[in-house]
Amino acid sequence: MLKLGDKEVYSIVENSFKIDGGTMFGVVPKVIWERLMVPDERNMITLDLNLLLVKSNGKNILIDTGMGNTLNEKQRKMYGVEKKSNLEKGLSDIGLTTEEIDFVILSHLHFDHAGGIVGLNSRGEKVPRFPETKYIIQSEEWKYALQPDERTKATYSVENFRALEELGEINLVSGEKEIVPGIKVKLTGGHTKGQQIVFIQGGGDTIVYPSDIIPTVSHLRVPYVAGVDIFPLEVMEVKRKLVNDCLENNWMIAFDHEIDPKLCRLEKKDDKIEVRKVPI
């Protein structure tokens, strides 16, 4: 746990999965990226699903939900998911249940970030996993996720979103919005049309959760852009500014897919960016 003024920030590893290394590094040649993240015999690399839980002024705010437990056997095998979701246990370790989450902020709606919004009832039907929460989603992302195109439909689960619609607690935002004092979202686009990043501020310090704009330490390099990014030039532009802001203001970055570190500060030495791990 990390104290940020009146806020308590926790990291929860919801699960881990495998993905094709080339998918994560796009046009970067394998002979370069494999030095950073070693692939297995199938060219797959392992990533964690890192969520943030913030306690602030009596409110509990969860940032992203991971994959959840509703993947079918084919999907679990495809993505190398070997364990059940750790979310309930992670919350329990903090002293919370899914019923006590006041806000769920979704950086975007790909299944590895928003799959955990639903669970299964006794009849095997998909139902909202957080019955008392308000879901914070960029309106552009919601619109696009409900009608994905041929390139992106495998990354969205429309069935899950319909279950949320029935709950009636979807809060669509446009652009920049403060959710509770000291926690705000900002539309960036890039990875998806409605990708948003999250800022957590308190005690004179800031954590930024850039989600898949900078998923791992290796992706701090501006041209290291994933093949699944819809607007790669936008990702590069956002990343360049964000890295500079973190360097200039000593902000912390929370990585959504890094195994270690989960949280760091950046330092520039001899024109190279180095990371300094921050315990959380």
pLDDT at residue 171, rounded to an integer: 93
pLDDT at residue 159, rounded to an integer: 84
224: tokens are 């290291």
Least confident of 18-22, 50-54, 113-117, 118-122: 118-122
pLDDT at residue 56, rounded to an integer: 96
Confidence of residue 188 (pLDDT cuts 50, 70, 90): very high
pLDDT at residue 270, rounded to an integer: 86
Q: What is the 3-state secondary structure (H, E, C) of the chain?
A: CEEECCEEEEEEEEEEEEEEHHHHHCCCCHHHHCCCCCCCCCCEEEEEEEEEEEEECCEEEEECCECCCCCCHHHHHHCCCCCCCCHHHHHHHHCCCHHHCCEEECCCCCHHHHHHHEEECCCCCEEECCCCCEEEEEHHHHHHHHCCCCCCHHHCCHHHHHHHHHHCCEEEECCCEEEECCEEEEECCCCCCCCEEEEEEECCEEEEECHHHCCCHHHHCCCCCCCCCCCHHHHHHHHHHHHHHHHHHCCEEECCCCCCCCEEEEEEECCEEEEEECCC
Least confident of 25-29, 74-78, 159-163: 159-163
Q: Which domain holds residue 104?
A: 2-277
Return the percentage of the chain with pLDDT > 90, whole number. 84
pLDDT at residue 106, rounded to an integer: 98
Query: For the chain, how many residues are written?
Result: 280
Number of separate domains in the chain = 1
pLDDT at residue 249 above 90?
A: yes
In this prediction the pTM is 0.96
- Whole-number mean pLDDT of the chain? 95
pLDDT at residue 28, rounded to an integer: 97
Closest by CA to 9, choosing from 60, 51, 53, is 53
Please state the separation of Cα 68 from the chain's center in Å.
Answer: 13
- CATH (domain of 222): 3.60.15.10
pLDDT at residue 279 above 80?
A: yes
pLDDT at residue 168, rounded to an integer: 67
pLDDT at residue 165, rounded to an integer: 80
Tens-digit pLDDT profile for residues 258-269: 999 999 999 998
Return the percentage of the chain with pLDDT > 70, whole number. 100
